[in-house]
Chains A and B, each alone.
Chain A
Amino acid sequence: GEDVEQSLFLSVREGDSSVINCTYTDSSSTYLYWYKQEPGAGLQLLTYIFSNMDMKQDQRLTVLLNKKDKHLSLRIADTQTGDSAIYFCAEREQAGTALIFGKGTTLSVSS
């Protein structure tokens, strides 16, 4: 079945860039998402990318997609302490099917 893998932890200093990586196995994945979860809260959609795109930039966030290697990354520029959270990668094959989530990457930002 489908699987989404992420590294579990990332620690950076305030002002540095953070890069969170994700790999997925389903070659028919069409929609890929990044979600952010703060402690004790639900998930907030950060950004998304369609499989026919290589890159998407949205303010401090840059998403890169390597469809050949089934690799997705999220780069956060000028990381702030408020960016400390768990970041989830998720994929879906087509509209109407449920999202498949990775286990989440805990980003810790130190000042």
Chain B
Amino acid sequence: DGGITQSPKYLFRKEGQNVTLSCEQNLNHDAMYWYRQDPGQGLRLIYYSQIVNDFQKGDIAEGYSVSREKKESFPLTVTSAQKNPTAFYLCASFRSGGRNSDGYTFGSGTRLTVV
């Protein structure tokens, strides 16, 4: 079955370390997104990519970086410059040119905790 996979499910990071969250999809979707979820804050857009080798900053891109070398993969790096990285991170994808009724397909999320 096609889907979108995020790994790991739980991740612990020490202060000052960079960590990379994986997001892989086999849906042949063109667009991929990273959101951050904090309690009571809803989902806030970090970065998105509509095509391979291109990506755009979202509302809260500072302290994060991404790459899109392959259509299937959109990894997110949380750098040491991100002051408050503890959160639940969600990756999503969408087939450009697809029906808007399809909405986004979401991964199951990665919970990052700074220790």
Binding site for B on A (CB under 8 A): 8, 30-31, 33, 35, 40-45, 48, 50, 88, 92, 95-96, 98-104
Which residues in B have some Cβ–Cβ distance to A below 8 Å?
A: 6, 31, 33, 35, 40-43, 45, 48, 50, 58, 90, 92, 96-97, 100-104, 106-109, 111
Counting from the closest, the 10 A-B pairs by CB-CB distance are A103-B42, A42-B106, A45-B103, A101-B43, A43-B106, A31-B100, A42-B108, A101-B42, A48-B101, A104-B42
A88, B42: Cβ atoms closer than 8 Å: yes
A68 CB to nearest B CB, Å = 22
Q: Measured between alpha carbons, how far is A98 from B47 in the docked complex, in Å?
A: 10
Q: Which residues of B contact A30 (CB under 8 A)?
A: 100
| 28 contacts across the A-B interface (CB closer than 8 A) | A31-B100, A33-B103, A40-B109, A40-B111, A41-B108, A42-B6, A42-B90, A42-B107, A43-B43, A43-B92, A43-B106, A45-B102, A45-B103, A48-B101, A50-B100, A95-B100, A96-B50, A96-B96, A98-B33, A98-B45, A98-B48, A99-B33, A100-B45, A102-B42, A103-B40, A103-B41, A103-B42, A104-B42
Residues B106 and A96 in contact, CB atoms below 8 Å apart:
no
A-B contact count (CB 8 A): 54
Closest Cβ neighbor of B45 among chain A residues: A98
Q: Which residues of A contact B101 (CB under 8 A)?
A: 48
Q: Which residues of chain B are within 8 angstroms of A104 by Cβ–Cβ distance?
A: 42
CA distance A103 to B45 in the complex (A): 12
Residue of A nearest to B58 (CB): A98
Additional 12 contacts, C-beta under 8 A, given A42-B106, A42-B108, A99-B33: A33-B103, A40-B109, A40-B111, A41-B108, A43-B92, A48-B103, A88-B43, A96-B50, A99-B104, A100-B45, A101-B35, A104-B42
